[in-house]
Structure 1
């Protein structure tokens, strides 16, 4: 009997406590900040790996065979157009030139004498023509010998900077042997590859001059002081990569850039009527982006969106929502 009363009292106490909790419990309201996408003109930044090349980069090779008699320049030296850089021993070529010159002088004297005789009708016009042909041949051989002699002097074809020496003083060089390379770094050509879709964007929007201007991020992650301009685009796409090569030209007055460097091209792409949303307003499931959209009844629904690009703290939406959502 007492046990029954105790159990009944305990049940009554628990019931009263539960009723008390229900009365005191209040429904909590959670508020969220909502906003609509922003539609404005903006720009995005794209980067492309690039290779830096001198506007002129040529190999200097020996045009004649012989011993390298003199070297007037050093590795890494700046040279000017026409500057004497190498001298191949000219003794043999000089002797051949003098011989050809003497033969030309002899032929000239013979021609003048024959011409005087022809004027006096002592010799025929045919004989005079043969002597004249002999003179022309001697002059041609003289010019050829002079060219061979001149080829022993290797001069700079343009203003530039020397690379390392491939031969040393006293070396026996053959015709066509590489002596050094020369680079004109006053302007630099920078090559980078662009995917097909971005190439089409560029061509459709290239009426804007600012789109053609690009920046160069060097290997130390600093931007080069001067702005470049896209000058040319290759004719064909690479079928293996789906890319096409662009070439931008950069001024290089201080000579900071050198042939063979690498970096990144930074291109600012204008976007008109871009739809922007905060990145923190999205969430991701299985590599798909979603946002919560509030309907007319103030109910929240998830919706998948596609991202075209991103800028700091913002996404540029390609599809999925409108500016009125």
Structure 2
């Protein structure tokens, strides 16, 4: 009886072992079957490497300056009698700006003019008397000198009186006023700044080895941080005829229009000097480049080949596309495009989006990249 029970237990254990072994074998079979099924293609966006004229540029930085710009200040001291402008106002050349109290100068001028009138009468009378020898020649010379002295005094007081009346030396935009009516201002006090913003200068430096690349009239593009997406065109208007001893740079000035008064003097500017003779270069979207410490690479679209060199095709008779990793050398970056100096040919298709999912020789399917222009979006092509 005991022996029979042991046989039943052994049979039951053997059945459980067989069931577990069968389940494990079925799981292994399912996994093998799953891995034996071909992976679906990875959907990627593709762009075409195109050859186009690429104008080399000389990058540099500079500072904007007004075509004309001054700080309006006083030559002589005085008390402000009238302020004749508003802060930020556009003024014309000769427009009154500030009037200082000139009562004392006006009174002195009247006195000097009276003395001048008297000396003119004395001189006229003396010129008649000296002819008849009624007065000596030395007395007539004294009358002549007195007349000249009084004329000079009148002119001096007129000039001093004119300096009490400040006018705009040129047309432009006046800044925030620094004075008020009743202020006593010593000489040299700044009233406000006046800037002509119709055009601007931008001064920048280039290294001496780049001097042969620049010339008068050469175009430049100016960019400022206030308008990061906008370029302002200008032309080189002056080149300093001297190399600075300390920096070995040459100072260059470009002129640019400022019709909307967007740009202001003192702004920091990034410049691109357009060099002549554009050359055809191959460019691709910046998103197509993979940057690593070991070098820059790109995935190029290719057609899968069999061992005998023939092209493999899918069930629909279409070529099977794969992504081949290729190491390249890059150049300048500009407007979302990258210059390829080595490793890519004109017309080749490159993966512009979806590279993170790819390995070398991965099966791919192409979809449109809405971030690229129509001429760079690519479809599969037959070789």
Contact 1:40 1:272 survives alignment (8 Å): no
Of 301, 306, 315 in structure 1, the residue corresponding to residue 339 of structure 2 is: 315
1:44–1:54 distance in 2 versus 1, CA, 3 Å: same
Counterpart in the other structure of 1:8? none
Is the 8 Å Cα contact of residues 304 and 320 (structure 1) preserved in structure 2? yes
**Structure 1: 5+ residue runs without aligned partners?**
1-36, 292-302
2:76 equivalent in structure 1: 64
**1 CA distance for matches of 2:183 and 2:252?**
42
Matched, 1:261 2:267: yes
8 A contact 1:219–1:262 mirrored in 2: no
| Contact 1:41/1:271, CA 8 A, preserved across alignment | no
Partner of 2:233: 227
Question: Is the contact between residue 87 and residue 152 of structure 1 (CA under 8 Å) also seen in structure 2?
Answer: yes
Partner of 2:94: 82
Alpha-carbon distance in structure 1 between the residues aligned to 2:207 and 2:250: 7
Equivalent in 221, 233, 244 of residue 214 of structure 1 = 221
Kept in 1: contact 2:72–2:193 (CA 8 A): yes
Which of the pair has more CA radius of gyration? 2
Task: Kindly state the Cα deviation for residue 267 of structure 1 after the two structures are TM-superposed.
Answer: 3.5
In the TM superposition, residue 109 of structure 1 has moved relative to its aligned partner by 0.8
| Distance in 2 (alpha carbons) for counterparts of 1:314 and 1:178 | 51
The answer to whether structure 1 residue 167 and structure 2 residue 179 are counterparts is yes
Which residue number corresponds to residue 146 of structure 2? Answer: 134
CA distance, structure 1, for counterparts of residue 291 and residue 268 of structure 2: 36
Q: Return the offset for 1:246.
A: 2.5
CA distance in 2, matches of 1:241, 1:274: 34
The CA distance in 2 between the partners of 1:161 and 1:137, in whole Å, is 42
Paired residues of 2:234 and 2:254 also in contact (CA < 8 A): yes
Distance 1:223 1:175 in 2: 43
After superposition, what is the alpha-carbon deviation per residue over 1:140-198, rounded to whole angstroms, capped at 9, x for unaligned? 0110011111110001100011111222210001122221111111211112333444x
Q: Deviations over 1:99-120 (max 9, x none)?
A: 1111111111111111111122
CA distance in structure 2 between the aligned counterparts of 1:178 and 1:40, rounded to whole angstroms: 55
Cα 1:81–1:287 change in 2 (3 A) is: farther
CA distance in 2, matches of 1:201, 1:40: 25
The CA deviation at 1:288 is 6.0
Q: TM-score, normalised by structure 2?
A: 0.60
* Coordinate RMSD, CA, aligned: 3.8
- 1:218-267 C-alpha deviation (Å, 9 max, x unpaired): 5221325x631111233445566654432211122332322222333243
Task: Provide the rounded CA distance (Å) in 2 between the counterparts of 1:259 and 1:272.
Answer: 32
1:277 to 1:142, Cα distance in 2 relative to 1, 3 A: closer
Q: 1:71-220 residue pairs with structure 2 within 5 A?
A: 71-197=83-209, 199-200=210-211, 202-203=213-214, 206=215, 211-217=218-224, 219-220=226-227
Change (3 A) 1:196 1:283: farther
State the shift of 1:66 in Å.
1.7
Shift of 1:44: 3.6
Q: Residue 191 of structure 1 contacts residue 245 of structure 1 at CA under 8 Å; is this kept in 2?
A: yes
Deviations 1:103-138 (A, max 9, x none): 111111111111111122212233212211110011
TM-score between both structures, scaled by the size of structure 1: 0.69
Count of residue correspondences? 273
